[in-house]
Structure formats: structure tokens, C-alpha cells
């Protein structure tokens, strides 16, 4: 029994319907089926499917194309289902990240039969887990022409303002070596945990850079995210590991970020374990400038990493634009103001009409 | 089939025989059986057993009694069995900790039928694991009169010199609290790992005290032994824990040690998780002074914690005296000079005759 979605209804009501179809990562099948059936009912769209990713597009021969993307999956349920309406807000898992954005996309797909730009819609799976499972990555490999266009709008929560580009992220491990000894004769050993002290001093004294790019402000950050070490309760430990996450503005490349960390943690054995490039805002591209104008100007820099960077790597200017406060994402208390859902739908309709 | 032990043989040969009867903690049954059978064959001794602990004693009506104690168990096998003789040394698991000492005790038990002091021998189990399993603790509860006397000699490795008293040990946890936040917006959080920096600065700058008591030198130590913290790779962590081990000279009580740590780590939430009092050297007691004289003077302070402290708590002056270098204990390469085994047997025979 596939759930019926009313795509022409109020997008806030549609958000509530989507929230009540649970879709934790890897379990998006029911929601993907509902989205696919609803989109196939629209004669102006070509629809295809890849795993639990559903894709739809117009073919109106417009000179330019806008790609709208949103993931269908959520983080695990945390006592925050079913959806609840509280005053002018919707509360529940996915209201912010990102079924409000999905509802706006579905609403646009159903109601804008004659858009000014050709449109491609990508509803994808497995964004909230390891990057290797990300549905957008599979689409990039198997259906690359579905990602081509002149502007990508990732409808991740951005408080209904245009967030441009995104910061990069890099994780490094600082590994210290020592010499084991019994703690009763500690002078025979070298303590690898004690050897982390200069690194912690670097972290507590670090002045994070702030930078303006295309009128967007980016604020970097350098944070310890994990520390571990120890052999047993009476042994001077011979190894410790400190994991640090660096969030860097998109004017740094991945290579430049690594160089910076090697300077900052000079003297430590440093291994890069994970990284993702940032994305420059790209707001000088014509379609991006139109969207910013439709949204009333004043874009801001995106601090968290999103799939915007994936589109940027494909050569599309890309922005985030969706309802909800991104700082509430992944919290049990996530909730979205209904007015932001309406505003996103209106801004996109204005931009695309 | 219970192994035959020749207690009147060269104690170095007896050491080799004991090493080749594996007796990792909780698996001392075979060795305890061999020791029990060998001791029961000696008519001048009363023998009893408690679990895998074997006890034997004389009842000659002497005005004083010396208790000799040694544990039968070893740490786990680490590619260091069977025993190997290399030049003038025995190599293998337990050669140092402490089957050389056990062999000396068994040799004395068999050959000194008319000692100057009454003698009690305690061969006990489970010294190398959590204190709750320690066989000596069970004897203290179930057979307390077997631990009474005027001097205790724990034949733990001491390089065949008298090591007097022992240092105390205390483990504390320093727990820091912070506020979680996404690392992309780290200024919304408080990093609990960063909050360990002053504690590590305290540790790296700590000047360990050295103190002389009864002519024995004790050298204290303060070492981080474990550190842990972290939520996930993109979250500012809200909790971290640093475990510190303090080894303190026996002129500090447990309470004084705790007070010292609370001063040193002022500002941290500090929890004592484990402690054991030290033991003053007690070398002014007559029997202890006799032993020091028989060993040729020059006792040294014991730095590691041993069951000497358990006897001290029972009111017996107690010393360590056994063959082997204690810094080799628990290493794969442990080995004992045969000359030290002979010297310990000779010194004890001289002292007790």
C-alpha cells in the first residue's frame, strides 16, 4: 500500500505527510515509492529511479536548467515521531532536515508546469550516513546527465535565506609515541598522553579566521573531536591519539587546509583521515544572482558541509535554500516554522516563473 | 598426574621446574597441587589449603615467627615459555615475577627444619589480577592466624636486596564537561577535550617529590594513564575523562594523597577510583634489622605497590626480598640471574639459622 501524496496541497501539510512516512537512512523505500508514484502522475515530467533515489525533469527546451536536490532520509528516530503541530510550527524528525525542503520541491514540481528554466528534481537516499552510500554519488556515476544544469539549489535547511557555497572539512589524527614503563618507575618511560599538551595548547589558543567571499562571511573552526590513549592503570602509556576537525572557508583548497594544519601542529605525526572540499559561493553566475534577487538579497555563507560542494565540483554554481534552522538538525527537538516553508515555496515560484 | 618437585635441589633448578608449570592467574591449580604435595611430604610442617593457595608452617615454640609469602600466578603467556637457560640466567615467564622467589621459599621450607624463628609459608593465587581475587585477601578473611608473626618477607623480585616498605598508589579521574555543538558552528559549544589542557600542563610541569625514610629513598610519580573523549567526528564533545595515577611515598596517608591531588588539580571534578596505602619501611623492628644485617645492610625503598602493604596493615613489619629485577616483571623478556636466586636462599638461610 503506497501512501498518496497531494502535491498541490499546502506545502506545510505535505511536509507533515512526509514526516509521518519514516525514512531513516537505508529505509527510504516506502517514501521513495510514494514520491515516485506522485511524480509519475504529472504528465509534464520525465521520471526515473535509481535505488531509493527518485529523479524527475522537464524538457521544455529552455536555454538554462536548474537542478533542485533534497535527500529523503533522516537520522534515527529519537522519540520525535509522529509529527506534531505546535502553534505555527511543525515538530518532529525531518521537519528541518529536510522534509520541509522536499515538500517545497514536490510542490514546485507539481505546480510549475511552465517554468522559466528547465527543471530537474533529485530526491535521493542515504545522505545522513557514510558518503560512500550517498544516493547523489550513485546518480553522478550512473545517470550523470541528470545532474547537468546552470544552477543547483540544495533545499537543505537554511532559515529560508540563500546560503552560498559551503565550508570544507578535514579530520586529522595527531599520534604521539612514548615508552611504556610501570608508573612506580615512571622516569623509565615517556608518557604519550602528556605529549598531547602542546596540541591542546594550540587548540585552546587558536584564533579561527573569518573571511568574506562574494559578500558571504565564513567562520572557520578547529576542534578536538576525539582523544584516546592508555594501556592500563599502572602503565605509562606509549601511544595517544587526538582527532581534530578543521572546518575551513572555501577560499582554501583541501591541500591548503592540510598545509595549514601541518604548520599549526608542527612537530606532531599528523595523518589526514577524512576531507571534503568546500565550495565557493558562485553568486556571480546569472541564475544564482536571479535567485538571490528573488529571495530579497543578503545571502550568507554556509558553514556546514553539504552536497552543494558535490555540485560545485561538477561545475554548477550551487546554493542552499530551504526552510528550517540548520542548528536544530539532528536534535530531538527539531521543528520548522510553517512560514519558512511557505516563504521558500513562494521565493522559488517567483524565481522560476 | 601431579608434577613432582624436588625441594632440596638447587633452587635455580627448582625455579626452572616451577616456570614450566604454567600458572596464569585463575589457572594455578596444577602448580598449587604440586606445591601442596611436596610440602605435605615434609614432617616438620603443618600444611593447609584455601582455593589455590597453599600454606605451611612450623610449630617449634620459638618466641617469634617470620611469614614468607609469594604468589604462584603469573601474567598471561607472551611467547616466553618454556624456560630457557642462557648463560648464567633463566629466561621465561615468571622467572622474575616470581617463581624464583617461590623456589627460594620452597627450598627454605624443605631444608631449614630447625629455624631460629618459627616460619609460615604462604603460596597464594591471583595476585596479578584485580585485588578482589587476591588469595592473600581470602587467607586474611578465612585463616587470619596464618598471617600473624613478627616480620613478613614477601619474596617479590628486589634484585636480591632488601626493599623496605612500599609506596602507595591512587588513581583519580578528572572529568570535564562541555556543551555539544556541530563543529561547523563550534562557537555554540564548549569543548570538553580542550578543557583538559590545564591538567596536562600540570602533569608535564609536575616535580615529583623524593624523600628519605629510615634510610630508604622513595621517588613519587604522577602520570596520566588513560584519556578518553569524543562524540563523533563533527561534534564538539561535551565530556572527556583523564585518569591519573599517583604513586606516593609511605609518609603520606591515602587521605593526604587525595588532598594533594585536589590541590594540584584545583578546579577539576576529581573522583578517586582506586587506592592502596603505602607501607613505612619498619626497619627498626628487631627481626627486620636482623634480616638487613644478614643481607649485608643497605636496604632500599620499594617503589611499586606490593602485598607488603597488606602485612603492614596487619601490624607486621614487612619487606620485599627476592631474586630478579622488578623492572623486567611483566615484560616478555623477563629473566633472572641464577646468582640472585642462590644469594637469596643463602641470605635467608643465614638469617633464619
Pairing relationship of beta strands A300-301 and A163-164 according to DSSP bridges: parallel
Select from A351, A291, A338 the least CA-distant residue to A11. A338
Chain A residue numbers with beta carbons less than 8 Å from the beta carbon of B130 are none
User: Is the pLDDT assigned to residue A65 strictly greater than 90?
Assistant: yes
CA-to-CA distance for B275 and B262, rounded, in angstroms? 15
CA-to-CA distance for A134 and A155, rounded, in angstroms? 16
CA-to-CA distance for A148 and A304, rounded, in angstroms? 24
* Cα B128 off chain centre by: 8
Q: Average pLDDT for residues B294-300, to the nearest whole number?
A: 87
Residue A99: DSSP 8-state: I
Q: Domains of chain A, with CATH numbers?
A: 11-165+279-352 (3.40.630.10), 168-276 (3.30.70.360)
CA-to-CA distance for A329 and A302, rounded, in angstroms? 14
Q: Give residue A215's pLDDT.
A: 85
Least reliable range by pLDDT among A110-119, A324-333, B13-22 = A324-333
Kindly determine whether residue B221 and residue A184, on different chains, have CB atoms separated by under 8 Å. yes
Kindly determine whether residue A229 and residue B234, on different chains, have CB atoms separated by under 8 Å. no
Q: Does residue A270 or residue A132 have the better pLDDT?
A: A270
pLDDT-based confidence at A182, cuts 50/70/90? Answer: confident
User: Is the pLDDT assigned to residue A297 strictly greater than 80?
Assistant: no
Kindly determine whether residue A226 and residue B226, on different chains, have CB atoms separated by under 8 Å. no
CA-to-CA distance for A2 and A35, rounded, in angstroms? 9
Tell me: the pLDDT tens digits for B40-61? Answer: 999 999 999 999 999 999 999 9
Q: Give residue A71's pLDDT.
A: 98
Q: Are A163 and B169 in contact (CB under 8 A)?
A: no
Q: Give residue B182's pLDDT.
A: 87
ipTM above 0.90, yes or no: no
Pairing relationship of beta strands B163-164 and B300-301 according to DSSP bridges: parallel
Q: Average pLDDT for residues B164-182, to the nearest whole number?
A: 93
CA-to-CA distance for B68 and A240, rounded, in angstroms? 41
Residue B301 has phi, psi (to 5 degrees) of -80, 140
Q: Average pLDDT for residues A318-347, to the nearest whole number?
A: 95
Q: Is B173 a catalytic residue?
A: no
CA-to-CA distance for B161 and B344, rounded, in angstroms? 8
Q: Give residue A130's pLDDT.
A: 81
User: Is the pLDDT assigned to residue B297 strictly greater than 80?
Assistant: no
Tell me: the pLDDT tens digits for B186-215? Answer: 999 999 999 999 999 999 999 999 999 988
CA-to-CA distance for A335 and B193, rounded, in angstroms? 30
Q: Average pLDDT for residues A119-134, to the nearest whole number?
A: 93
Q: Average pLDDT for residues B79-99, to the nearest whole number?
A: 97
Q: Give residue A192's pLDDT.
A: 98
Percent of chain B with pLDDT over 70: 100
Q: Is B73 a catalytic residue?
A: yes
Q: Give residue A311's pLDDT.
A: 93
CA-to-CA distance for A296 and A273, rounded, in angstroms? 40
pLDDT-based confidence at B282, cuts 50/70/90? Answer: confident
pLDDT-based confidence at A285, cuts 50/70/90? Answer: confident
CA-to-CA distance for A308 and A317, rounded, in angstroms? 8
| Helix ranges restricted to H, B41-119 | 100-111
CA distances, A110 to each of A149, A294, B311 (Å)? 20, 20, 85
> Active site residue: A28, A127, A150, A258, which one?
A127
pLDDT-based confidence at A282, cuts 50/70/90? Answer: confident
Q: Which residues contact A263 (CB under 8 A, 6 or more apart)?
A: none
Q: Which residues contact A45 (CB under 8 A, 6 or more apart)?
A: A39, A56, A57, A58, A109, A121
Closest chain A C-alpha to B226 CA, distance in angstroms = 4
Tell me: the pLDDT tens digits for B211-240? Answer: 999 889 999 999 999 999 998 888 899 999
Nearest by CB to residue B184, choosing from A197, A274, A304, is A304
Amino acid at each position: 500500500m503506497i501512501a498518496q501524496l497531494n502535491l498541490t496541497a499546502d506545502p506545510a501539510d505535505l511536509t507533515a505527510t512526509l514526516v509521518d512516512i519514516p525514512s531513516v537512512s537505508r529505509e527510504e523505500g516506502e517514501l521513495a515509492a510514494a514520491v515516485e508514484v506522485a511524480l509519475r502522475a504529472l504528465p509534464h515530467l520525465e521520471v526515473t529511479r535509481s535505488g531509493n533515489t527518485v529523479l524527475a525533469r522537464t524538457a521544455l527546451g529552455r536555454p538554462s536548467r536548474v537542478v533542485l536536490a533534497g535527500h529523503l532520509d533522516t537520522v534515527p528516530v529519537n522519540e520525535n515521531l509522529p509529527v506534531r503541530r505546535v502553534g505555527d510550527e511543525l515538530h518532529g524528525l525531518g521537519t528541518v532536515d529536510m522534509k520541509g525542503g522536499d515538500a517545497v520541491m514536490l510542490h514546485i514540481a507539481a505546480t510549475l508546469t511552465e517554468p522559466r528554466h528547465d527543471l530537474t528534481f533529485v530526491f535521493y537516499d542515504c545522505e545522513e550516513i557514510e558518503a560512500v552510500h550517498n544516493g547523489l554519488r550513485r546518480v553522478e556515476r550512473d545517470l550523470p546527465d541528470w545532474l547537468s544544469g546552470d544552477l543547483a539549489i540544495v533545499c537543505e535547511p537554511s532559515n529560508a535565506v540563500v546560503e552560498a557555497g559551503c565550508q570544507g572539512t578535514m579530520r586529522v589524527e595527531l599520534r604521539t609515541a612514548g615508552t611504556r614503563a610501570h608508573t612506580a618507575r615512571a622516569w623509565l618511560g615517556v608518557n604519550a598522553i602528556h605529549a598531547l599538551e602542546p596540541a591542546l595548547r594550540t587548540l585552546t589558543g587558536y584564533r579561527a579566521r573569518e573571511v568574506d567571499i562574494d559578500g558571504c562571511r565564513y567562520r572557520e573552526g578547529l576542534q578536538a573531536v576525539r582523544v584516546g590513549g592508555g594501556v592500563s592503570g599502572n602503565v605509562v602509556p606509549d601511544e595517544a591519539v587526538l582527532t581534530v576537525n578543521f572546518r575551513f572557508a572555501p577560499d582554501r583548497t583541501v591541500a591548503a587546509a592540510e598545509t595549514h594544519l601541518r604548520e599549526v601542529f608542527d612537530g606532531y605525526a599528523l595523518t589526514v583521515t577524512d576531507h571534503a572540499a568546500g565550495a565557493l559561493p558562485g553568486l556571480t553566475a546569472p541564475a544564482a544572482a536571479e535567485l538571490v534577487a528573488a529571495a530579497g538579497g543578503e545571502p550568507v555563507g554556509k558553514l556546514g558541509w553539504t552536497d552543494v560542494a558535490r555540485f560545485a565540483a561538477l561545475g554548477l554554481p550551487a546554493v542552499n535554500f530551504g526552510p528550517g534552522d540548520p542548528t536544530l538538525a539532528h536534535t530531538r527537538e527539531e521543528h520548522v516554522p510553517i512560514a519558512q516553508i511557505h516563504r521558500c515555496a513562494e521565493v522559488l515560484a517567483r524565481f522560476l516563473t
